Amino acid sequence: MAHEHHHHAGGHGHHHHNATDNIKVAFFLNLGFTVIEIFGGLWINSMAILSDALHDLGDSLSLGLAWYFQHLSQRGSDQHFSYGYKRFSLLGAVINSVVLLLGSGVVLWVAIPRLFNPEPVHAPGMIGFALLGVAVNGYAALRLQKGDTLNERVAMLHLLEDVLGWAAVLVGGILLYFFDLPVIDPLLSVLITGYVLYNVVRNLRQGLQILLQGTPANISLRQLQERLEQVPEVRSVHDLHLWTLDGTSHVLTMHAVVNENLNLEQAHAVKQRIRTAMHNEQIDHVTVELEMPGQECSQQDCTPPPV
């Protein structure tokens, strides 16, 4: 039985256009603000502001790459990438993670010694920057909140984290204004950077899991097999392989043994039933090979699926 490919493609031109525009606005807002922050952090002598600048730089990179890859991932399959360009967004995430890891290392290298030898900080400047930070990131997050693409949702979460980071800097600035506790600044810096690192490591693990063609975390192969074997006419399933292109677009290949010899029309109907069942499980690219009773599996690696 020849392999048969089916690809479910959704065409949302205007959504895509809005998504790209929203991400673009958020990117330029964030990048411009990051540059101001770096100078401001050096002028005010605040490690907390420089840590948040790093956080924002990471988000600017995320947004810039998301904007570019949102654009690129719309391209369908071609001679170079037969599955299309969805995986490029992963590449963006990995590049971003590496930049943030390096940046976090630099910030901690400067901030940790300051815990023991705190330096004076210009508190009113810190408060002013924090208010600006909450406003800019809040506005960018609101722009993306209405979005319906995964890229927009992820970028919006990044910006909300920034709003929280700036709220922390604001509280720190107010405390410094009223109390002579310069250690608050490097302490905030270490906490913010620790939070950034925690997220970077988590995202990097997810990205590498996908790049290494791991099974999607939210789908159980055993349950998938049970679901497939509930399809009428399907006796058993083997050589089941499931992976994901970008965390949301999943690919499945499988061999299904059917109960009786089917003609082409019946075989097509069985495949459609299998695809419908898999579409409900968020798997939109399914390749099925049917085997009649008594037929030997043609492939070398027809091992039973893992259970």
The type of residue at 1 is: M
For residues 209 and 28, what is the distance between their CA atoms, to the nearest angstrom? 31
Q: Tell me, what's the pLDDT at 129?
A: 85
For residues 154 and 149, what is the distance between their CA atoms, to the nearest angstrom? 9
- Contact indicator for 53, 41 with CB cutoff of 8 Å: yes
The domain segmentation of the chain, as residue ranges, is 13-211, 221-291
- Contact indicator for 282, 227 with CB cutoff of 8 Å: no
Q: Tell me, what's the pLDDT at 131?
A: 92
| Distant-in-sequence contacts of 10-18, Cβ < 8 A, 24+ apart | 15/148, 15/149, 16/70, 16/74, 16/149, 18/147
pLDDT exceeds cutoff 80 at 67: no
pLDDT exceeds cutoff 70 at 34: yes
> At 287, which helix (H) or strand (E)?
strand 283-291
Give this prediction's pTM.
Answer: 0.64
Q: Give the β-pairing of 234-244 and 250-258.
A: antiparallel
For residues 121 and 54, what is the distance between their CA atoms, to the nearest angstrom? 19
Q: Tell me, what's the pLDDT at 4?
A: 41
CA 289 to chain centre: 32
For residues 36 and 244, what is the distance between their CA atoms, to the nearest angstrom? 39
Q: What is the pLDDT of residues 150-200, one digit of tens each?
A: 666 767 777 777 788 888 888 888 988 888 888 888 888 888 888 878 888
- Greater pLDDT, 157 or 221: 221
CATH 3.20.20.140 for the 13-211 domain, yes or no:
no
pLDDT exceeds cutoff 80 at 234: yes
- Contact indicator for 30, 297 with CB cutoff of 8 Å: no
Name the CATH architecture for the domain at 221-291: 2-Layer Sandwich (3.30)
pLDDT exceeds cutoff 80 at 23: no
Q: What is the pLDDT of residues 264-289, one digit of tens each?
A: 888 888 888 888 888 877 787 888 88
